[in-house]
């Protein structure tokens, strides 16, 4: 059937539905665009405006999201995936699904922001609110990224794209980054949430000394080229599948080597062919990109991996606590609905201090100082993306192209037996060095 099973149950509604239409070929998609535009009645679309106040956002997030579930006045062409995103009435969905050139119609889902080595006592701090935390400067050592940096591998020449809530080029750690937006909210370019800034700072933030708490903060790959793409917004950090797909398309076009995605949806179909995000992840891999994706924060129950972290081709990252060395309870577990063991690796993701602006700035430390203490697989994922930027730079110096398949081979060779809690375990710099010495010499 050309209509995804996850969309079928929505057809009983008479309301406009945000959908993504996949075509059998790029030529078929281009030919169909004029006909698709005939289905848009701008008088029936709901205009999109940012939430009125911060209090409204923080006290009624679910209500705000439900308000925006009506389709938006937006028509997105996603050529890399042979897809078009648009709002349609149920009767029109059924009609278009019968077109011979239509491969599948998906719901345009809402997406949102998602015993190992421990840090030593001298790397543990306490915020004014009494919360224990450590910094990226110390957690990067657990991946041995500090050794990589000392050896001259700091991500230089490697492009890392981060589809998220954006970033802040004005932040002390990320003034060098490129910045784009695929959001439908108008006039909202700045990262007002802070989640995206935290992620880009952790991946490639330049060294900065926070004089408020007297701690040093530095990204895992401080010389990599960062591209922050805002595809989640409205302050609370949500968007649609199509916003994320457009961000992935932009990352491909900008020549990204690595795409770090600390986002996801708990709505995972039983069949991977019914998830447009999985197809986008596969497209990234086909283009030579390493997709590093958060497992989700829906643990500890089995089978709780989010989309697109559930994609077989992704390098899926779970979180562990750098204070206890244990996998975090919130970290999503495998398997996927189709039986794939996930996550692939774990990294530090509990109470970590990095660059942050927006509403998340005072979270954890209680200070508006451009830094924040956050937890989640969202925090673990940029650690891995940064390490891979260092590793890719190293392998390029050896004349070897580091792909996601090669990364998984290295994990399988030197990691733990794979399981649905922690995958192959923690990925470290010495694993890349050892593989190079034993297999690439």
User: In 3D, which of 438, 434, 425, 435 has the Cα closest to residue 143?
Assistant: 425
Q: Does one domain contain both 148 and 266?
A: yes
Shared domain check, 240 and 168: yes
Please check whether residues 134 and 178 belong to one and the same domain. Answer: yes
> In 10 A of CB 240, how many CB atoms?
28
> 24 and 139 share a domain?
no
Tell me the residue ranges of DSSP E strands in 186-322.
208-210, 215-217, 225-230, 238-240, 258-261, 290-294, 315-320
Report the pLDDT value the prediction gives residue 429, as an integer from 0 to 100: 98
Chosen domain end from 108, 130, 154: 108
Residues 45 and 152 reside in one and the same domain: no
Beginning with the edge strand found earlier in the chain, give each strand of the sheet holding 83-88 in spatial order.
76-78, 83-88, 17-23, 102-107
User: Has residue 151 got a pLDDT over 60?
Assistant: yes
Cβ neighbours of residue 189 under 8 Å, at least 6 residues apart? 166, 179, 181, 230
**135 within domain boundaries:** yes
User: Order of strands, edge to edge, in the sheet holding 371-374?
Assistant: 125-126, 132-135, 352-355, 371-374
The reply to whether omega before 335 is within 30° of 0 (cis) is yes
Asked if the structure places residue 222 within a domain, the reply is yes
User: Which SS3 state, helix, strand or coil, does residue 293 take?
Assistant: strand
Tokens of 281: 């992840």
Query: In sequence order, what are the beta bridge partners of 18?
Result: 87
> At what angle are helices 195-204 and 377-397 packed, to 10 degrees?
30
The pLDDT tens digits of the residues spanning 50-78 come to 344 444 444 444 444 444 444 444 789 99
- Residue 320, classed as helix, strand or coil, is strand
pLDDT at 186: 53
* pLDDT, tens only, 112-136: 876 455 677 877 888 888 888 899 9
Within this chain, do residues 103 and 127 fall inside the same structural domain, yes or no? no
* Residues whose CB falls within 8 Å of the CB of residue 117, separated by 6 or more in sequence, listed in order: 142, 322, 325, 426
Checking if the pLDDT of 238 tops 60, the result is: yes
* pLDDT computed for residue 221 by the predictor: 98
Q: Please tell me the predicted confidence (pLDDT) of residue 50.
A: 39
pLDDT tens, residue by residue, 411-425? 999 999 999 999 999
Confirm whether 116 is domain-assigned.
no
> Mean per-residue pLDDT for 331-344?
98
* Helix segments in 292-376, DSSP class H: none
Q: Is the peptide bond before 87 cis (omega within 30 degrees of 0)?
A: no
Q: For 379-389, what is the mean pLDDT?
A: 98
- Tens digits of per-residue pLDDT, 249-296? 999 999 999 999 999 999 999 999 999 999 999 999 999 999 999 999
Q: Are residues 152 and 53 in the same domain?
A: no
254 φ/ψ angles, rounded to the nearest 5 degrees: -85, 0
Which domain CATH number covers 379?
3.40.50.200
Q: Could you read off the pLDDT of 160-200 as tens digits, one per residue?
A: 999 999 988 889 999 889 999 998 765 567 888 999 999 99
**Are 91 and 171 in the same domain?**
no
In a domain, 115, yes or no: no
- How large is the average pLDDT for residues 2-27? 90
pLDDT greater at residue 40 or residue 394: 394
* The domain boundary residue, chosen from 63, 84, 108: 108
Cα dist from 348 to 87, 118, 136, 375, 390, whole Å: 40, 9, 9, 9, 17
Decide: helix, strand or coil at residue 285: helix
Structure token pair of residue 232:
């989640």
**Where does 192-275 have alpha helices with state H?**
195-204, 241-253
CA distance 158 to 419: 31
Question: Does 58 lie in the same domain as 128?
Answer: no
Helix, strand or coil, per DSSP, at residue 218: coil
Q: Which residue has the higher pLDDT, 364 or 402?
A: 402
pLDDT at 45: 46
pLDDT computed for residue 192 by the predictor? 87
Say whether 160 sits in a helix, a strand or coil.
strand
Q: What is the residue-averaged pLDDT of the chain?
A: 89
Task: Using the predicted structure, report yes or no on whether residue 29 has a pLDDT greater than 50.
Answer: yes
* Structural domain of 92: 5-108
Q: Is residue 313 part of a domain?
A: yes
Does 17 share its domain with 143? Answer: no
* More reliable by pLDDT, 184 or 211: 211
Q: Which residues are catalytic?
A: 164, 195, 378
Last residue of a domain, one of 108, 130, 150: 108
Max CA pair span of the chain: 65
Higher pLDDT, 238 or 333: 333
Write the burial class of residue 441 (CB in 10 Å: 0-12 exposed, 13-18 middle, 19+ buried).
Answer: exposed
Strand, helix or coil for residue 330? coil
**Are residue 324 and residue 186 in the same domain, yes or no?**
yes
Query: Which stretches does DSSP call E strand in 280-395?
Result: 290-294, 315-320, 345-348, 352-355, 371-374
Count: domains in the chain: 2
* pLDDT tens, residue by residue, 137-147: 999 999 999 99
Residue 113 lies in a domain: no
Residues of the chain with pLDDT > 70: what percent?
Answer: 90
The reply to whether 141 falls in a domain is yes
Verify that 146 and 90 share a domain, yes or no.
no
Q: Taking 80 as the threshold, does the pLDDT of residue 405 lie above it?
A: yes
Collapsing DSSP to helix, strand or coil, 258 comes out as strand
Q: Is residue 48 domain-resident?
A: yes
Percent of the chain with pLDDT over 90: 71
At 332, list the tokens: 């999503």
């Amino acid at each position: 059937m050309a209509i995804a099973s996850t969309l079928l149950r929505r057809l009983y509604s008479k309301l406009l539905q945000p959908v993504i239409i996949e075509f059998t070929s790029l030529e078929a998609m281009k030919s169909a665009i004029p006909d698709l535009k005939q289905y848009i009645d701008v008088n029936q679309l709901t205009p999109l405006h940012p939430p009125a106040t911060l209090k409204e956002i923080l006290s009624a997030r679910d209500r705000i999201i439900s308000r925006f579930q009506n389709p938006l006045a937006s028509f997105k062409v996603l050529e890399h995936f042979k897809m078009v995103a648009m709002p349609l009435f149920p009767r029109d969905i059924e009609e278009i699904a019968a077109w011979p050139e239509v491969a599948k119609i998906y719901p345009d889902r809402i997406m949102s922001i998602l015993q190992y080595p421990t840090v030593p006592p001298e790397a543990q701090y306490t915020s004014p609110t009494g919360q224990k935390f450590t910094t990226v400067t110390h957690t990067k050592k657990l991946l041995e990224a500090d050794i990589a940096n000392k050896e001259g591998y700091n991500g230089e020449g490697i492009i890392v794209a981060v589809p998220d809530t954006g970033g802040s080029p004005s932040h002390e750690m990320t003034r060098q980054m490129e910045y784009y937006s695929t959001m439908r909210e108008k006039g909202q370019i700045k990262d007002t949430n802070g989640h995206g800034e935290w992620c880009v700072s952790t991946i490639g933030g330049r060294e900065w000394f926070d004089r408020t708490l007297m701690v040093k903060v530095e990204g895992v790959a401080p010389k990599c080229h960062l591209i922050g793409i805002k595809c989640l917004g409205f302050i609370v950090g949500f968007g649609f599948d199509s916003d994320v797909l457009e961000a992935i398309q932009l990352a491909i076009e900008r020549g990204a080597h690595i795409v770090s995605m600390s986002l996801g949806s708990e709505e995972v179909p039983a069949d991977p062919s019914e998830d447009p995000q999985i197809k986008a992840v596969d497209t990234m891999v086909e283009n030579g990109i390493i997709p590093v994706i958060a497992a989700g924060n829906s643990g500890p129950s089995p089978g709780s991996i989010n989309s697109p972290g559930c994609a077989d081709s992704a390098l899926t990252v779970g979180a562990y606590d750098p204070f206890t060395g244990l996998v975090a309870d919130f970290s999503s577990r495998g398997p996927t609905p189709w039986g794939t063991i996930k996550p692939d690796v774990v990294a530090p993701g509990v109470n970590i201090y990095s660059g942050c602006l927006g509403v998340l700035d005072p979270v954890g430390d209680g200070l508006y100082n451009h830094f924040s203490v956050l937890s989640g697989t969202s925090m673990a994922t940029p650690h891995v993306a940064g390490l891979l930027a260092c590793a890719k730079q190293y392998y390029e110096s050896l004349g070897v192209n580091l792909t996601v398949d090669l990364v998984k081979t290295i994990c399988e060779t030197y990691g733990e037996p794979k399981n649905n809690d922690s995958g192959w375990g923690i990925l470290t710099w010495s694993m890349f060095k050892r593989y190079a010495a034993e297999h690439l010499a």
